[in-house]
Amino acid sequence: MFRSSLSLFVRRPHPCPSRASRSLSMEATVPKGSSWTTVPATMATPAYSVYAQPIEKPAQDTRAYRLLRLENGLQAMLIHDKDADTSAAAMDIAVGHLNDPDDMPGLAHFCEHMLFLGTKQFPKENGYNEYVSAHGGYTNAYTGASNTNYYFSVSSTSTPSSSGTATPTQNASPTPVPRKSPLPRGLEMFASFFHSPLFSDAGTARELNAVDSEHKKNSQSDRWRIFQLEKGLSGDIRGPDGVVRKHPWAKFGTGNRGTLSAYGRRVAQAQAQSEDHVTKTNGMIKNGVPHLKHSVGAVDPANALPALPSESDADGGPVGRETRRRLMEWWQTEYCAGRMRLAIVGRESLDELTQLTTTLFSPIINRSKDPAPLITESPLGPNECGSIVECKTVMDFRSVAVSFHIPWQTPLYRFKPASFLSHLVGHEGPGSIHSYLKGKGWSTGVSSGSPSQGRGFAQFSIFVSLTKEGFENYDAVLLTLFKYLSLLRTSPLKKYHHDEIRALGEIHFRFTEKERAESYVSDIAASMNKPYTREHILSGAARVWDWDEAMVRELLHSLTPDKARVSVLAKEFKDDTGWKNETWYGTEYRVRKMDEKLLTEAPNDIPELFLPGPNAFIPANLDVEKIPVTEPAKKPVQIRDTPLAALWYKKDDQFWVPKGCFQAYVITPLAHLTPRHALKSRMYTELVNDALTEYSYDASLAGLDYSFGSYDRGVYLAASGYNEKIPILFKTVLETMKNIRINPARFEVIKEDLKQEYENFYLSEPYRIADYWTGYLLAPNAWTPEEKLAELETVTVDEVQAHIGQLLSRVYIESLSTGNIREEEATSLLTLTQDVLSARSITASEKETERSLILPQSSNYVYKINVPNPKEVNSSLTYYCHVGYVTQRELRAVNGLLLHLMREPTFNELRTKQQLGYVVFVTKWHSRGSMGLRFLLQSEREPVYLESRVEAFLEAYKAQLAEMTPEEFEKQKEGLISQKLEKLENLHGEVSRFWSHITSGYCNFLQHEDDVEILRKTSLEDVVKFFNTYLHPDSPTRRKLSVHMRSQSVPSAPSVKFSVAASEAFLSLLKSHGVPVEDAQYRELSQAEPPIEAVQAFWTTSLAQAAGLENADKEKLLSAIEALSHAHPAKGGEPIDAGKAELRKDAVVIEDIASFKASLSLGPAAVPVHRTFHARL
């Protein structure tokens, strides 16, 4: 996974803290003046050092920390958590895409992909993923600008067979400690990524397609297009060798098949062309391997060499082998132990974790590389500053961004001057840029920050979302931004702003709650590669220590118009001349210098601009009311149940933070009755949010947020965060919700925003649209964006104002209170809601939850639709099999177990092996009470082919289930059970669980325990029967629906394989024209039956350089390729992406959606599974 919102994952050689909360069991030495304690080697463990100072950690954190430094320079943060249900580890390497060779863009990202495909100790290609999945875990990685981060999690609990499916080879090192959990073996496999990856030939050839697919997935994403455009427009810098070249920030970090294969293709071409390496023997050509100099310049896609036929070989042929060689060479150079930072959390003691770490990770080689290479030059040189870049977007929106180069901020973490300025510039309260531009009707949002770039350089950016009128006046918008910065330069900077920021940082850090284990260690490992002192690894990003006004003012002086680069983004511009195309995404752009009026700094003369006042929402009372309990309650209690309202309540009894959440679903039958009703409800909630922006901004800064939105059954209102002032915020939001008087000017702005949103929906990624249509086809009352768009032009202010009164006149209020809120406070908030709304109750039938349309037995429906974006190269498939209803306990449990069993094999077969695309997964589907399993794929292949591959996989998986051993089944089952029994990590997780069960209508708060009870009794035979009944294509009772989103960019004539017989016939033609060919090599390459396009491209290049051959003969030979492919078709004559794949004979294509929906029956309405409440009304 390539990451574009790049964080500065940096490390400097400062010593780093750990909690030395243990007594060393062996003799240790502490060098004078050092913060590290040296522990000598023993028979069991290599030597290492321990950081001797305590780690600064949140007051709520009961975990124990220890920081190690191994002899090879690797640092590791070990975390003992006696209550952990999940163990996890992460490795952050101080190498990212800025370290790519100039001639192989994307190599760091490609390396990240390849490390997952087997190691010398564990050569099975999917062994690591299989092991993690079997033990209820998760794994992933990302490549940033200056770092690459790998992480995984597994259950902390023992399983009946914890040895796992991945068995090391005879050369594997013995496990250092007895396996008490899946973590030790997981760490053993993980460590081998970094000292002995396999980089298999076949894996290299296939994974090039995965990287290519990932890039193409992003090809129509404005986020990625704009990100790369701004990178590509970086200036030049002079390198250490004195050569002037493009700033490394300009690199294309994702890469694609072309950039990663370009060097190999040049080598292969040089082999064919080099006279020095050609020996003619009996009319045959034998090629040596010429040497090509690396990094001879950046790859130019316009001059890229075509794919060679041999690239379809299992190992990619000469191109694939050369790509692998370069990959291994790069890994051996850049992946150095001194650049690696490891974090591990588990139930194991710190001594056990120490033994595992030192034994497993000491074999990683220190290659004496700079542990944290820096790039200090700015990407914005003199030619880039003072310029405006205009950029055409795919989606319809308008915005302007202003960027300034600033000093790298991470080493200044104690002061955070850029954060101080972004607090003021991005403020949304009175006197702010946002408030002023909103009042002018020019903007819908302003934000500011110092987004991460690379290690050693940074930028300060201001982003403004523009209205249509704002876009027409974007010069005036820019002038406003520059005048506000001028105001800051000339105004006294009140220390209370710093004090507020510092106080809030202290509060947020003090009450930091637990998060998912893999996310936690991933963040810590990345922080270890930042220049925090070691004791501040956990706190460095959250806290602010010192105030230095001079530092802030120095930064302000670098934020002047002549040092800025402006980006203006829109789908259309009035003047449509002078456009260029960006190299990798084809984004249209043009660059011009700013007008002198903008470049000349002007003092602020806008009286509506001024600095914010004190924040009244900063909490003062942070007391937590602790109630002694034997064990935490597993569900809330219903303490009010009337015809008008219900209130579920649970006082926090396990997280002990001064936070709470009160939320209410105001159910009303008019919210979604027709497309027009749905539109008016949405406009209403957007207008309320728009009216509350200035008031609520300070609250959000202080950790107190609200939410207000429209949904199918009504409107949703919530306030959450530090509980002291929840009633104040909630009351204001509630009163605004009831009493709003629509501002006609803001009404027009909201209409414009919704028009863009509805139109832009159809430019989303194909797999998202396919998923939407699947849900739409199974929903009895759903309205498309197109239907709502049709109502938008005629809706009026008066109509929406009247709708608000009608909407809130008859309601039912479903509410939940959780956290540090007392029962009387919760009932008071519900009473306040009822009093403010002053509504009558709806009928019992109007309270019913949404119901699902149910596919009939023996059904195989297909809905076909084109991808709306004509430039989108990807198609997609959603393939859904209906199983039953969520109230069917046995079916629900087995459905979840089958998903757990299938998830890794699906990924391994359809993505890793068949390379169908980057987006490939199988998930459960729960919607309106119905449930099933769905496959989701996005690919350049045709949807009908994707469906055929899914069904072929299901056929093959039937055999896999039949061959599964009872031991493997029990291990997999225990992994799922461990997942389901994991304790909630934080208050947010508890709130989400409770609320999802309440809004479902079933209120089955103990569903996970019900599932476990059933799973323990479930046999492999039960799963096989379930699979054969509900999923297998040959099942006579299966209920299936698929949605085919077909790309309009799919070639009308699909690619065809060039068969062995066609190759033999072409060989005879080549010889008859005197073209020298090495028979053995030619026939070896022909066995792969490469795509005809690759054959044509190869011979076009080769024959063009063939001496002594007339042009007419060359043309005759080239035209013969296609003729021979028809005369000698590949087996079955099928195209390589199965353009001739057909649907099953029983498939029914949906021609009319309304008729299809009318033919389906409705599923049952939700009924609570139990009612437990006090008799208090």
- Indicate which residues carry an active-site annotation: 112
- C-alpha Rg value of the chain to the nearest Å: 31
Which residues have a Cβ under 8 Å from the Cβ of 919 and sit 6 or more positions away? Answer: 217, 765, 767, 876, 936, 937, 938, 939
Q: Per the structure block, which two tokens stand in for 278?
A: 């050609």
Separation between Cα atoms, residue 157 and residue 974, nearest integer Å: 9
DSSP notation for 950-1018:
HHHHHHHHHHHHHH--HHHHHHHHHHHHHHHTPPP-SHHHHHHHHHHHHHHT---TTHHHHHHHHHTT-
Neighbouring C-alpha atoms within 13 Å toward the C-beta of 745: 11
Cα separation of 209 and 466, whole Å? Answer: 39
Give the C-alpha separation, 963 to 957, whole Å.
Answer: 10
Residues 6+ apart with CB under 8 A from 424: 488, 497, 611, 612
Report H helices in 626-725: 675-701
- Taking the C-alpha atoms of residue 417 and residue 58, their distance in angstroms, rounded to an integer, is 23
Residue 671 CA to residue 810 CA, distance in Å, equals 11
Answer whether 779's CB lies under 8 Å from 928's CB.
Answer: yes
Rounded distance, CA 751 to CA 767, Å?
27
**1086: which 2 tokens?**
């022909």
The Cα 595–Cα 588 span in angstroms is: 22
Residue 887 corresponds to which tokens in the numbers above? Answer: 């109230």
Give the closest residue to 338 by CA, choosing from 364, 373, 366: 366
Structure tokens at 817: 């209170």
- Parallel, antiparallel, or unpaired: how do β-strands 148-155 and 86-93 relate? antiparallel
Phi, psi of 333 (to 5 degrees): -90, -45
882 DSSP assignment: E
Residue 951 burial by CB count (10 A; 0-12/13-18/19+): exposed, middle or buried?
Answer: buried
**Is the Cα torsion angle 878, 883, 888, 891 positive or negative in sign?**
negative
CA gap 825, 829 in Å, rounded? 6
User: Hey, what are 853's tokens?
Assistant: 């349309």
Distance CA 8, CA 451 (A): 9
Q: How many CB atoms lie within 10 A of CB 771?
A: 21
Contact at 8 Å (CB) between 537 and 55?
A: yes
Helix and strand numbers (H, E) in the chain are: 34, 34
Collect all residues with Cβ–Cβ distance below 8 Å to 191 and sequence separation of at least 6: 360, 361, 363, 364
- Residue 319, SS3 per DSSP: helix
- Cβ contacts of 829 within 8 Å, gap of 6 or more: 662, 726, 727, 730, 815, 817
Sequence letter at residue 67: L
User: Which amino acid is located at 832 in the chain?
Assistant: L
Q: How many CA atoms lie within 13 A of 1000 on its CB side?
A: 21
Going by C-alpha positions, the residue among 9, 119, 27 that lies closest to residue 364 is 119
Residues 6+ apart with CB under 8 A from 53: 17, 18, 20, 35, 534, 535
8 Å CB contact between 142 and 93: no
